A and B are shown apart, each in its own frame.
Chain A
Amino acid sequence: MEYLSSNKIAIIDLGASKTIQKELDEDLVKEKIGGAGITTALYEEYRDEDPIVLGTGLLTGTLAPASALGMVTAKSPVTGKICHAPFTLYGGVELKYCGFDYVVIKGSSPKPVYLWIHDGIADVNDGKEIWGKDVWISTDMIREVMGDPLIQILAIGKAGESESDFAQVCINYWASGDRWGFGKLFGQKKLKLVAMRGMSLLEIADPEGFVRKCKEFLSTIKSGPYAGKGGIGELSAAMGEDIRQWLEPIIHRHLSCFNTPFPTNTFVFLDEDPKLLKETEKKEPGFLITDVHGLLGYKKLGLSAAEACDLLRDCAKYGIDAVAVAELSQKAGKKKPDEIKKSLSGLKGSLESVGKGKFSPWAPSFTLSSDEWERRQAVAYLFGIHPIYALMSPEFSEEKLIELANLGTGLGFTSETLDKVIIDILK
């Protein structure tokens, strides 16, 4: 695969602590497009070894608007189905540039390890030092050892290590869209984290044409209904649960995922003046909210915004899905932050908010029907478009994405290809 690709797949055998590399077959791309199409195919290929497949979409890491998506595809220990969990921020783009389009992690390790994927090399490293540490400390340790704060990390905390059903694979310090208990799967495999960094170059089949179209599409969506807005509060408002006022006093800034026109994340300051412009002296002044549902869950318990965000921070450190924690706290009648914090370890129960399909319910349904939502998610996960932003920008249509894919790769995808792949991955 020549364009928009590193042309490599890493197959990592955790049991044998060995890595091999394969080329990314262009025919596979022609048939499955990319992203969830190919992670699903790779899952099937290695299904006997209970693989975790990491991947990016066909357009991830390009100038295509919102091309921020990376994903984890595996069998959910919670639902028993093959599911996809999204990771955005700078995680998707880092995976795309670290030299592998896809990473298959198969088998399980006898002792704690972490994966270090960098510049086209995939190493299985000893994880003794970080096993037992929370997500934040683990991320800090890896970045410090390697000397680069730009390393992007998919990590589990104590929840994953203790194989909790609600364990989440976090991204750097923050919650991801993992609602499938993939944190538990990492824990079962004794895989503490995956660290990624790379600086490769992606070639484009028709560079000028591709970039011209990206620009054109960007200007269309830039003038859409979300223009000039930003933050997690806007998402909640669009979902019909307006929390903007409630959250406002602690907002420091809204942040976008890679190349995403709308900032879907909000950084709140909890131990620092939110209006501060210069660099804070505090090491850990607050929290980046990346998941609106967790926040809403805590708001429903009657907590203040600061209390809710403080709890979100604890959940992320522990590596547990805040949505599950909020729901189970509600059921158990726990409404005090301290009580909830204490319940994280050993949390048990069954959830109603578990996703029913293949794609994480992290992306809100807004006003879409579940079929519309699902199709749009499938499209986002194939091309590598931010799953929430994909829902917010219907103007960025399937035709436009196919057009970009063709300019970028020269492979001649059609809407029939797309339909076929979607049916395939929804099976």
Chain B
Amino acid sequence: MPSISNRNQSSFDPPIGIYTGSGASHSWLWFVEILERMGFYNIHFVDDRGLLASALDSLDVLLMSGGDTFAIAKGLGTEGSLKLRHFIEEGGLYIGTCAGAYLPLRSSMEFLNQFNFIQAKIANISRRLSEPERHSFQQVACSSYGCEFIFHVAREEVVVEMANGYHANGKKEMIAPLYGGPSIYPSEDIESIAIYKGFTKKTKFLVEKALAQKTLIGNIAVGKKEMGKGHLYIFGPHFEHPHFLPCNLFLIEVIRKKHGRRHSPNQKDVYEDPVKEEVVRNYIRDLKREVSHSRIAASGMTDFMGSWQIGNKYYDPEKIQVFIETLWKRFTYLESGGEVAVDLQDLDEMIGQMQGITDVLRKMKKGIDRGEATDGLAEGLFPSLKKVTSHFLTVYFNKKRLESIMSQA
């Protein structure tokens, strides 16, 4: 597995928000992974409620990863779209991958039509298909898009080629992972940074190769648009996938190029009464106990070979473990001593949330053993997992940031 070295972190650590609200799948965790490896610690987590309040005001960058575009748009609504527009126009940097790339593209669909920031057209939408081609999609993957549908021609690896003088670490081409992201027709309204160039041995075609070529090749994979004082960067492929180092580096470069916006990082919370170490240690221990309980209850489901259907997405039990392991592997650092600037109430709340998750997991296990449907329980579980994970990561990155600031001083 390629890995990014933890480069000596520069003093440049812009406040970055990662969207975790309605519609977000687990791929936002990939952003966490690569940002941390690159030494970015000024990381904040923004759900739809936060975004509708004032979360964007203190950020320089907003990262919107994969998931259900429609659910994201619906969760944010008109007010969210105004906030987002304002954020970018005032100098913010919006980076969207996959669903985060569809979101600002033009659409006439309800909710989505609030986010028509970029007038470029999606190439993989059914109105571009001939009747027989349309027909061929009855058996394969697509997601409904009003009276049309978004279709997918290939997944896993694709080759993208940099355009307009852009390069990735001196290279013109790179391999990127595509999981349902858009292919975009060239347009006046978007600057092409990279186009879909070809396929690899690991490309998985979902339709005949000819149609895949027609849909992807030569179209925009990565594009940029200026809006007011800010920018939108949209990525069809998941450039934040932690196994694709050149993609990660390119993405990080985009963030690095971003000059500080209106404010220096909001450091108020960092220096807020660091609580006595001993007390915090005990709380962290209690939290760890609860996370372990969830972890164990989740492992109890390995015999269950099914998935849960929530909306139009399928969730495997492994996804639960993905969230829990994100927390788990960071405990050693939290336990390593030193100050953790955190509200005890926050920790208390997290412990409560974790207990709730453990309860649900144990109920699910019982349900599975009795052959009962557990989709309802799963539906409530994933939002809680997202919430507690972002809560935890906030505490974690606060500590990292505090340490990094102190070491620089």
Instruction: Report if A and B touch in the complex (beta carbons < 8 A).
Output: yes
- Decide if A148 touches B292 in the complex (CB within 8 Å): no
Q: Report A-chain residues with C-beta under 8 Å of the C-beta of B299.
A: 148, 150, 197, 199
Q: Does B262 contact A (CB under 8 A)?
A: no
Which residues of A121-173 are within 8 A (CB) of B?
A: 121, 123, 143-151
How far is B298's CA from A119's CA once the two chains are assembled, in angstroms?
A: 14
Q: Does B362 contact A (CB under 8 A)?
A: yes
Which residues of B287-316 are within 8 A (CB) of A?
A: 288-289, 292-293, 295-297, 299-300, 302-303
- Decide if B365 touches A199 in the complex (CB within 8 Å): no
How far is B296's CA from A245's CA once the two chains are assembled, in angstroms?
A: 42
B327: min CB distance to chain A, Å: 12
Q: Does A189 contact B (CB under 8 A)?
A: no
* Residue-wise interface mask of B (345-378) relative to A, using a CB-CB cutoff of 8 A (1 in contact, 0 not): 0000000000000100110011000000000000
Which of B299, B358, B362 gathers the greatest number of chain A CB atoms within 10 Å?
Answer: B299
- Decide if B362 touches A119 in the complex (CB within 8 Å): no
- Decide if B303 touches A119 in the complex (CB within 8 Å): no
Q: Does A192 contact B (CB under 8 A)?
A: no
Q: Does A358 contact B (CB under 8 A)?
A: no
- Decide if A146 touches B292 in the complex (CB within 8 Å): no
- Decide if B288 touches A121 in the complex (CB within 8 Å): yes
Q: List 13 A-B contacts (CB under 8 A).
A: A118-B292, A118-B296, A119-B288, A120-B292, A121-B288, A123-B289, A144-B366, A146-B297, A147-B296, A147-B358, A148-B300, A148-B365, A197-B299
Q: Report B-chain residues with C-beta under 8 Å of the C-beta of A147.
A: 296-297, 300, 358, 361-362, 365-366
Which of B288, B292, B300 meets A149, CB within 8 Å?
A: B300
How far is B292's CA from A123's CA once the two chains are assembled, in angstroms?
A: 12
How far is B293's CA from A123's CA once the two chains are assembled, in angstroms?
A: 12
Q: Report A-chain residues with C-beta under 8 Å of the C-beta of B209.
A: none
Which of A149, A151, A199 meets B295, CB within 8 Å?
A: A199
Q: Does B263 contact A (CB under 8 A)?
A: no
In the complex, which residue of chain A has the Cβ closest to the Cβ of B328?
Answer: A119
Contact A151:B296 (CB < 8 A) given known A121-B285, A146-B362: yes
How far is B330's CA from A405's CA once the two chains are assembled, in angstroms?
A: 30
Q: Report B-chain residues with C-beta under 8 Å of the C-beta of A120.
A: 288, 292
Please report the number of residue pairs spanning A and B whose Cβ atoms sit closer than 8 angstroms. 45
- Decide if A121 touches B289 in the complex (CB within 8 Å): yes
How far is B300's CA from A120's CA once the two chains are assembled, in angstroms?
A: 18
11 further contact pairs, Cβ within 8 A, besides A121-B288, A148-B365 = A118-B296, A119-B288, A119-B295, A120-B288, A123-B289, A146-B297, A146-B300, A147-B296, A150-B299, A199-B295, A199-B299
9 smallest A-B Cβ distances: which pairs? A148-B300, A147-B297, A147-B362, A119-B292, A147-B365, A147-B300, A148-B296, A118-B292, A197-B296
How far is B300's CA from A150's CA once the two chains are assembled, in angstroms?
A: 7
Which residues of A49-72 are within 8 A (CB) of B?
A: none
Instruction: Report which B residues bind A (CB closer than 8 A).
Output: 285, 288-289, 292-293, 295-297, 299-300, 302-303, 358, 361-362, 365-366
Report whether over half of chain B's contact residues are helix, strand or loop; otherwise say mixed. Answer: helix
- Decide if A146 touches B296 in the complex (CB within 8 Å): yes
How far is B286's CA from A123's CA once the two chains are assembled, in angstroms?
A: 11
How far is B289's CA from A119's CA once the two chains are assembled, in angstroms?
A: 8
A125: min CB distance to chain B, Å: 11
Q: Report B-chain residues with C-beta under 8 Å of the C-beta of A118.
A: 292-293, 296
How far is B303's CA from A144's CA once the two chains are assembled, in angstroms?
A: 15
A379: min CB distance to chain B, Å: 33
Q: Report A-chain residues with C-beta under 8 Å of the C-beta of B366.
A: 144, 147
How far is B300's CA from A147's CA once the two chains are assembled, in angstroms?
A: 6
Which of A143, A146, A149 meets B293, CB within 8 Å?
A: A146
How far is B285's CA from A172's CA once the two chains are assembled, in angstroms?
A: 28
B78: min CB distance to chain A, Å: 42
Which of B296, B297, B362, B366 gathers the greatest number of chain A CB atoms within 10 Å?
Answer: B296
- Decide if A121 touches B292 in the complex (CB within 8 Å): yes
Which of A147, A149, A199 gathers the greatest number of chain B CB atoms within 10 Å?
Answer: A147
Q: Report A-chain residues with C-beta under 8 Å of the C-beta of B295.
A: 119, 199
A142: min CB distance to chain B, Å: 11
* Residue-wise interface mask of A (198-211) relative to B, using a CB-CB cutoff of 8 A (1 in contact, 0 not): 01000000000000
How far is B297's CA from A197's CA once the two chains are assembled, in angstroms?
A: 10
Contact A149:B289 (CB < 8 A) given known A118-B296, A119-B296, A199-B295: no
B330: min CB distance to chain A, Å: 14
B293: min CB distance to chain A, Å: 7
How far is B363's CA from A320's CA once the two chains are assembled, in angstroms?
A: 34
Q: Report B-chain residues with C-beta under 8 Å of the C-beta of A144.
A: 366
Q: Report B-chain residues with C-beta under 8 Å of the C-beta of A148.
A: 296-297, 299-300, 365
How far is B359's CA from A147's CA once the two chains are assembled, in angstroms?
A: 9
Q: Report B-chain residues with C-beta under 8 Å of the C-beta of A199.
A: 295, 299
How far is B285's CA from A118's CA once the two chains are assembled, in angstroms?
A: 13
A94: min CB distance to chain B, Å: 11
In the complex, which residue of chain B has the Cβ closest to the Cβ of A118?
Answer: B292
A114: min CB distance to chain B, Å: 15
In the complex, which residue of chain A has the Cβ closest to the Cβ of B321?
Answer: A199
Which of A121, A123, A151 gathers the greatest number of chain B CB atoms within 10 Å?
Answer: A121
B385: min CB distance to chain A, Å: 16
